[in-house]
Amino acid sequence: MSAAHAPQGPSEWRFAWRGLDASGATRRGTLIALDAAAVRDALKRERITVLAIERRSSAGAPKARHADVTCFTRQLASLLRAGLPLANALELLALSPGPNGMPRIAAALARDIAGGLRFADSLAQHPARFNALYCQLVAVGEASGALAAVLARLADDRERAAAQRAKVRAALTYPVAVLLLALVITAALLVWVVPTFKQIFDGFGAALPAPTQIVLMLSAGAARWSVPAAVAAATGALAMQAALRRSETARIAFGRTLLKLPLCGTLLTTLCAARWSRALGTLLAAGTPLADAFDSLAHASGNAFFDRAASAGISERLRHGERLAAAMRAAGCFPADVVQPVAVAEESGALDAMLLDVASLADRQVDEKIALVSSLCEPLVIVVLGALVGGLVVAMYLPIIQLGNVV
| Boundary residue ending a domain (115, 138, 158) | 158
- Residue 391, classified by CB atoms within 10 Å of its CB into exposed (0-12), middle (13-18) or buried (19+), is middle
Is 3 part of a structural domain of the chain?
Answer: no
d(CA 164, CA 187): 35
Is 201 part of a structural domain of the chain?
Answer: yes
**pLDDT of 147 higher than 80:** yes
Q: How far are the Cα atoms of 72, 85, 86, 96, 97 from residue 92, in angstroms, in the given order?
A: 11, 11, 10, 7, 11
pLDDT tens for residues 385-403?
788 778 888 887 877 776 6
Within this chain, do residues 173 and 132 fall inside the same structural domain, yes or no? no
Within this chain, do residues 108 and 241 fall inside the same structural domain, yes or no? no
- Which stretch of DSSP H or E encloses residue 69? helix 66-81
Please enumerate in sequence order all residues whose Cβ is within 8 A of that of 261, keeping only pairs 6 or more positions apart, or say none. 268
pLDDT tens for residues 337-349?
888 888 888 887 7
Domain count, the chain: 3
For position 91, what pLDDT does the model report? 87
Q: Is the pTM of the predicted complex or chain greater than 0.75?
A: no
**pLDDT of 335 higher than 90:** no
Strand order in the sheet with 49-58: 26-33, 13-20, 49-58
Is 310 part of a structural domain of the chain?
Answer: yes
For position 78, what pLDDT does the model report? 93
Instruction: Give the residue-averaged pLDDT of 17-43.
Output: 81
Is 6 part of a structural domain of the chain?
Answer: no
Bridge-partner residues for 54, per DSSP?
A: 16
For position 101, what pLDDT does the model report? 80
Is 280 part of a structural domain of the chain?
Answer: yes
For position 401, what pLDDT does the model report? 76
The distance of Cα 324 from the centroid of its chain, to the nearest Å, equals: 28
**pLDDT of 224 higher than 70:** yes
d(CA 402, CA 393): 15
Within this chain, do residues 118 and 234 fall inside the same structural domain, yes or no? no
Within this chain, do residues 133 and 166 fall inside the same structural domain, yes or no? no
| Boundary residue ending a domain (158, 180, 202) | 158
Within this chain, do residues 97 and 170 fall inside the same structural domain, yes or no? no
Query: In terms of Cα–Cα distance, which of 186, 337, 230 is closest to 273?
Result: 337
Confidence of residue 1 (pLDDT cuts 50, 70, 90): very low
Instruction: Give the residue-averaged pLDDT of 191-195.
Output: 80
Domain carrying residue 187 = 162-407
For position 382, what pLDDT does the model report? 81
138 contacts 120 by C-beta, under 8 angstroms: yes
Please enumerate in sequence order all residues whose Cβ is within 8 A of that of 305, keeping only pairs 6 or more positions apart, or say none. 251, 252, 253, 254, 255, 256, 258, 259, 333
Within this chain, do residues 298 and 373 fall inside the same structural domain, yes or no? yes
Confidence of residue 97 (pLDDT cuts 50, 70, 90): low
Within this chain, do residues 188 and 213 fall inside the same structural domain, yes or no? yes
Within this chain, do residues 167 and 286 fall inside the same structural domain, yes or no? yes
**pLDDT of 75 higher than 90:** yes
For position 6, what pLDDT does the model report? 41
Within this chain, do residues 44 and 81 fall inside the same structural domain, yes or no? no
Is 8 part of a structural domain of the chain?
Answer: no
Within this chain, do residues 152 and 169 fall inside the same structural domain, yes or no? no
| Boundary residue ending a domain (158, 182, 201) | 158
Is 2 part of a structural domain of the chain?
Answer: no
- Mean model confidence pLDDT for the chain: 82
Within this chain, do residues 223 and 347 fall inside the same structural domain, yes or no? yes
For position 407, what pLDDT does the model report? 45
Within this chain, do residues 114 and 202 fall inside the same structural domain, yes or no? no
For position 7, what pLDDT does the model report? 43
Is 4 part of a structural domain of the chain?
Answer: no
Instruction: Give the residue-averaged pLDDT of 239-259.
Output: 88
Q: Which amino acid is at 134?
A: Y
**What CATH number corresponds to the domain at position 111?**
1.20.81.30
